[in-house]
Amino acid sequence: MIVGVGVKRIVLLIGVIVCGALVVRAQFDPQIGQYMYLPTAYNPAAAGEDDLMKVAGLHRMQFTGIKNAPMTTYFSFSSPFVLGKTKHAAGVRFLNDRFGLFSNQALHAQYAYRQRIGNGTLAIGVDLGFVNISFANDSVNLSQLNADYFTQSDPALPTGQGGNGMTFDLGAGIWYSAPTWWVGASMSHLTYPTLHWSDESDYHLKGTLYVAGGYNWRLKNKDWVLKPSALVMTDFSSWDVNIAMMAELKEKYRFGLSYRILGNVGLILGIDIISGLQLGYTYELPTSTLIYESYGSHEIYLAYGFDILKPKRTNRYKSVRYL
């Protein structure tokens, strides 16, 4: 059994997250259930982690059964590379997110500088790209509202077929991974960009802070590893926290439970189809009254990674967190 400073740090991190999340509401940026497998979705410093070139995709259908429920698609590609005696990583990520009458498309290039420190690697990364946010105002039907209080039009809504705006976006993050634990923090939308929809309407995008951490706890039976982790995200006016406990068998099969303070419990399953090729699935149920309206949320994850810096070691796929 592995016990040390790393687990104390992670336990402390999870405790701070849980105790600090007193107010929980919805936020603009989407959250994914399998955050521990796709960290580049929220932290650019995780690009090229474990010296692996990786392509990954995730699709999430939230609150199925409810009209205009959120639907999120992520795609990412990242690769490590060496310049002289220094290690770096670069990648790209794409987001397509629809929720209600809003849609959000984002394309970012990612870069991370990686430095060996102690028995782990410290990385500092940046996210550079564009976000495009739209609002389908032509789908708003004000005539269904009480005419004594509402008019047939609203000057706050963008005119035409829908509001649409694109702007530059910037994010940054820091990431440290060791053989038995990992932790990271990042900030999206650092410029707090404003999208101009019309003369009467603008959209102000808040920055979001992410803090994540996890620990690998190998049991006496060496075939089994427990992997607790947590992710907190906040725009400083609302919070969301996801806590997960995964179990891994023979570095191939994964299953676990998750709990989101926003009001969801989930089941996470995963398997290595072949060396380096991973498939994951999450099913979540709301713990609020939404359970009477929704069939739950579904999320599927697929990724392939391989070591390009050490090509002689092609017979085994290793990762602090992914296996």
Condensed to tens digits (0 to 9), the pLDDT of residues 217-227 reads 999 999 999 99
- Looking at residue 9, what DSSP letter applies? H
pLDDT tens sequence across 160-207: 545 778 899 999 999 999 999 999 999 999 998 887 776 666 778 889
Report the alpha-carbon distance of residue 233 to residue 240 in Å, rounded.
5
Nearest to 261 by CA among 277, 238, 295, 236: 238
Please give the share of the chain, as a percent, with pLDDT higher than 90: 56
Residue 70 phi/psi, 5-degree rounding, is -60, 145
DSSP reduced 3-state for 189 = coil
Report the alpha-carbon distance of residue 36 to residue 52 in Å, rounded.
16
Q: What is the pLDDT of residue 213?
A: 97
In the chain, where are the structural domains located? 5-307
pLDDT tens sequence across 89-139: 999 999 999 987 888 999 999 999 999 999 999 999 999 999 998 877 655
Q: Are 294 and 284 in contact (CB under 8 A)?
A: no
Q: pLDDT at residue 14 above 70?
A: no
Determine the longest span between alpha carbons in the chain, in angstroms.
Answer: 75
- The pTM score is 0.81
CATH number of the domain at 5-307, please?
2.40.160.40
